[in-house]
Amino acid sequence: MKKLLLAAAVALAMPVAMAWQPTGDINIIIPYKAGSGTDTGARLLVTEAGKYIKNPIIIQNLPGADGKIGWTKLVNSKPDGQTLGFINLPTYTTLAAQPGAPFSIVDIVPIANHLTETGVIVVKADSPYKTIEDLVAAAKKGNLKASTNGVKASNHTAAQLFAKSAGFDYKAIPYGGTADQLLALRQGEVDFSAAKVADVDKLVRTAKPELRVLAVYDTKRAPEYPDVPTLGEKGYYPEWYGSARALVAPKGTKPEVIEYYVDAFKKTMDDPETKAAHQKAGMSPDFKDNKQLGELIKAQDKFAREVINKLY
């Protein structure tokens, strides 16, 4: 009995291991400028995450080189849980698959997927191209221009998939990000763009629309635009294509740190107020945990190497 009492006393005296917690400001690197699609979604998410993560979360925009500047900074950050970042798929994997890339898929640790967004082809609201067939017919005559969110970035790849499947050439003009890309379209600098539903929604479904959606990259029509055909319906690219925006940490980040953030962001995205805020912003959260996101990254790496690299 004395031995049992002594063992119990020793156990009580031993310090209890605490679950990992951040110790200061949490920096989240966004490799695009403020106002971009990734930035807008990230700011909405981290605002809502304040209910479950009490430390200040600071968005750090590091735009440039189609995302390379921000992602290079991310993979070289200290893996202590105080610096995280957003990646875009397939842009991250596309750039990582290039010879001499400053980062790879093994340089990041998955945390959680935030958004999965379907691609669309858009023109100005007053464009002479009323249908996707009109646009293709004009493009086959030559000299059409498309704005993109960077060389080999997600929207550039979307434009390539469309053009290759429809059998036309065009001039791709890279801008600093999706926001700049769509501004160029609205200002008449280019003829068309490929973007995502959430990027264009407020410019389309409004009393005075600035853009018109001609087609969506999916196997079924988008619920937001039930009257808009899929590319496949018209004989062009027949598969879903879009972008995933996801949270990751630098390589070497400990499992307990990842577990903390997976739990926090799952609670955030399951929160009814978070869902309502996203719906108001034209976004639909698509939570995937670290294991599911890891599988998605591997699949997108394969897609980048086997499909995307053959488009350019």
Q: Spell out a b/e string for 79-106, using b for 16 or more CB atoms within 10 Å of the CB, else e.
A: eebbbbbbbbbbbbbbbbbeeeebbebe
Residues 258 and 110 both lie in one domain: yes
Average pLDDT rounded to a whole number, residues 225-230:
97
The whole-angstrom separation of Cα 137 and Cα 41 is 35
Residue 225 lies in a domain: yes
Tell me, what's the pLDDT at 14?
47
Residues 139 and 71 both lie in one domain: no
Read off the pTM. Answer: 0.84
Chosen domain end from 207, 234, 261: 234
Mean pLDDT of all residues in the chain? Answer: 93
Token reading at 159? 């434009």
Residues 162 and 218 both lie in one domain: yes
Residue 17 lies in a domain: no
Question: Tens digits of per-residue pLDDT, 128-143?
Answer: 999 999 999 999 999 9
Coil/strand/helix, residue 236:
coil
Average pLDDT rounded to a whole number, residues 28-53:
93
Chosen domain end from 197, 213, 234: 234
- CATH code (residue 219): 3.40.190.10
Residue 107 lies in a domain: yes
Residues 229 and 252 both lie in one domain: no
Instruction: Give me the domain span that covers residue 228.
Output: 118-234
The whole-angstrom separation of Cα 60 and Cα 272 is 27
Residues 83 and 180 both lie in one domain: no
The whole-angstrom separation of Cα 182 and Cα 203 is 9
Could you give the C-alpha distances from 274 to 49, 154, 277, 279, 286, in angstroms and in order? 9, 26, 5, 9, 12
Residues 224 and 123 both lie in one domain: yes
Residue 13 lies in a domain: no
Question: Tens digits of per-residue pLDDT, 55-102?
Answer: 999 999 999 888 999 999 999 999 999 999 999 999 999 999 999 999
Quote the number of domains for the chain.
2
Residue 15 lies in a domain: no
Average pLDDT rounded to a whole number, residues 37-57:
94
Average pLDDT rounded to a whole number, residues 45-53:
96
Average pLDDT rounded to a whole number, residues 231-254:
97
Tell me, what's the pLDDT at 12?
52
Chosen domain end from 234, 259, 279: 234
